[in-house]
Amino acid sequence: MHLTLTEITSQEVAAGLEDKTIQVGIMRPLALPDSLVVFELLNEPLVAIMRADHPLATESENGIYMSALAAEPFVFFPRTYGSGIYAQVLSLARAAGFSPLITQEAGEVMTIIGLVAAGLGVTVLPASYRRMRIDGVVYRNVLDPGATSAVWLVQRKDEQSPMAKAFTELLTRNVAR
């Protein structure tokens, strides 16, 4: 068996499954065609990321509501990037009564967090990015209802590859434990 791992956007995962260039994908939630089936691998909280010296950093050690970020410039993925988290963060902001002012865009998480560290704004990302230790930033749990992000394993409903089926079974069985 040969397993090839390639980092692509959620949108590219869905397209690759549809055109059969990939057999299994791992992605953040997006609207998907009926020809694909989803298995939720995990669901994690979202965190607001800001400079350590940001006024909200000291006020929010127990977490922060999206509404507290309403006046802040945001650093985020471009809308066209195809990240499943984009629509979710916009939806949370709208539910909190604002539309985020995205002043800087980057396609890589390390760049986004680096721009936050440089003082160019705040961002909201899944909590797993806390593992990326970048000096000068803090991570605060977003306290709003629904402020979580799922990770999906996705494949075609009609997938016939024994290896793809075995891989899916292995991952979903281990997650179910």
CA distances from 137 to 29, 48, 70, 105, 119 (A): 27, 10, 19, 18, 9
d(CA 61, CA 39): 33
d(CA 16, CA 48): 31
d(CA 25, CA 8): 9
d(CA 32, CA 128): 24
CATH superfamily of 10-42+150-176: Periplasmic binding protein-like II (3.40.190.10)
CATH superfamily of 43-149: Periplasmic binding protein-like II (3.40.190.10)
Block means of pLDDT (10 residues each) for the chain, 177 residues, are 80 92 91 92 95 89 94 92 81 97 93 96 95 91 95 92 88 74
Q: Which residue has the tokens 């499943």?
A: 84
pLDDT at 57: 92
pLDDT at 14: 92
Could you tell me the residue ranges of all domains in the chain? 10-42+150-176, 43-149
